[in-house]
Amino acid sequence: DIQMTQSPSSLSASVGDRVTITCRASQSISSYLNWYQQKPGKAPKLLIYAASSLQSGVPSRFSGSGSGTDFTLTISSLQPEDFATYYCQQSYSTSQFGGGTKVEIK
């Protein structure tokens, strides 16, 4: 099994801040890394697929980068609707999710 480690597990930020979340795989997964946003009581929403491709309809303030074992999700200017939990997911070999990063209001 490939293990996915996200950091930090939580962070506090203000509207307008630049936010970066990292995800590390226990072995190389090429670029088969996806990012999701989940708000309380809602299903997850796909934000980024294949490490850096923006899913249709997702605001351009979200971006992803990385390959191999290290990946990053960046929110360039945090908006009120972005306070949520974010998960990475590897899809190189079956699938696993990271533990999640909760983005809270400072």
Partner 1 sequence: EVQLVQSGAEVKKPGESLRISCKGSGYSFTSYWISWVRQMPGKGLEWMGRIDPSDSYTNYSPSFQGHVTISADKSISTAYLQWSSLKASDTAMYYCARHRGIAAAGTYYGMDVWGQGTTVTVSS
Distance CA 89, CA 68 (A): 14
Q: What does each C-alpha distance from 48 to 10, 62, 90, 102 come to in angstroms? A: 20, 8, 12, 17
- Residue 25 Cβ vs partner 1, minimum distance, rounded to whole Å: 14
Contact between 71 and partner 1 (CB under 8 A)?
Answer: no
- Here the tokens at position 50 are 């294949």
Residue 77 to residue 15: CA distance in whole angstroms: 7
Which of 25, 73, 78, 87 is the binder for partner 1 (CB under 8 A)? Answer: 87
Question: Which residues, numbered 42-61, are part of the site for partner 1 (CB under 8 A)?
Answer: 43-46, 48-50, 53, 55
Where along the sequence are the contacts to partner 1 (CB under 8 A)?
1, 32, 34, 36, 38, 43-46, 48-50, 53, 55, 85, 87, 89, 91-92, 94-100
